[in-house]
Structure formats: structure tokens, C-alpha cells
């Protein structure tokens, strides 16, 4: 039960951060919302790890450079709010 509460808290943190940023991250917000909806419709748990994997899959399949940029930024947001992941991803050139 505590893990579920922590995951929900982290997801709320991501949503709060994106809402506070307003239009600055509107594309990223839409992408993360879409990812959440897809995970839910597939019956999967919505966790930061699931969001990261989904965004990586989208990155691998897109050919649109603007979409790629927005997906990378959305991935950065999710990684930034995932404990221990930020360090793991710190060496990647974004």
C-alpha cells in the first residue's frame, strides 16, 4: 500500500510541476498525459518506470524532429522526478 501511495505522490509531483510551468511545458504535459492514458487503457500500472519505458518506445519510433524534442523533454521531466533514475541518466547527452 505504501508503494502505491509513493507512486501516486511522485505522479502528483510531476503533474504539479508541469501545471506550474504552464505553457512552457504544454507539449510535454500532453505527451505524459497521453502516455498515462495508454498505460491505463492497456491495464498496466502507471509508474514512473512505465512512463519512462513508454516514452523511450515513442522516441525510438518517431521520425518527426519536433516530436522527438518534445518526447526527450518529457522523458527528462519524468526521470527528474524518479528517485535514483536521475543519477543513472546523468551521463546521457540530452
pLDDT tens per residue across span 14-41? 666 566 655 556 788 889 889 988 998 9
Reply yes or no on whether the pLDDT at 70 is more than 80. yes
Query: Which grid cell is 31?
Result: 505527451
Q: Which residue has the cell 518506445?
A: 57
Domains of the chain plus CATH, in order, are 2-89 (1.20.5.5260)
Reply yes or no on whether the pLDDT at 2 is more than 60. no
- Which carries the bigger pLDDT value, residue 10 or residue 67? 67
Taking the model in full, what pTM does it have? Answer: 0.69
Measured in degrees and rounded to the nearest 5, phi and psi for residue 46 equal -95, 100
Distant-in-sequence, close-in-space partners of 17: CB < 8 Å, separation ≥ 6: 77, 81
Reply yes or no on whether the pLDDT at 81 is more than 60. yes
Cα distance between residue 69 and residue 38, in whole Å: 20
Amino acid at each position: 500500500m505504501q508503494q502505491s501511495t509513493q507512486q501516486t505522490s511522485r505522479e502528483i509531483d510531476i503533474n504539479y510541476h508541469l501545471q506550474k510551468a504552464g505553457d512552457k511545458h504544454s507539449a510535454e504535459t500532453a505527451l505524459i498525459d497521453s502516455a498515462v492514458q495508454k498505460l491505463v487503457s492497456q491495464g498496466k500500472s502507471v509508474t514512473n518506470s512505465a512512463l519512462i519505458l513508454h516514452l523511450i518506445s515513442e522516441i525510438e519510433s518517431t521520425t518527426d524532429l519536433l516530436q522527438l524534442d518534445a518526447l526527450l523533454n518529457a522523458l527528462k521531466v519524468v526521470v527528474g522526478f524518479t528517485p535514483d533514475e536521475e543519477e543513472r541518466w546523468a551521463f546521457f547527452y540530452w
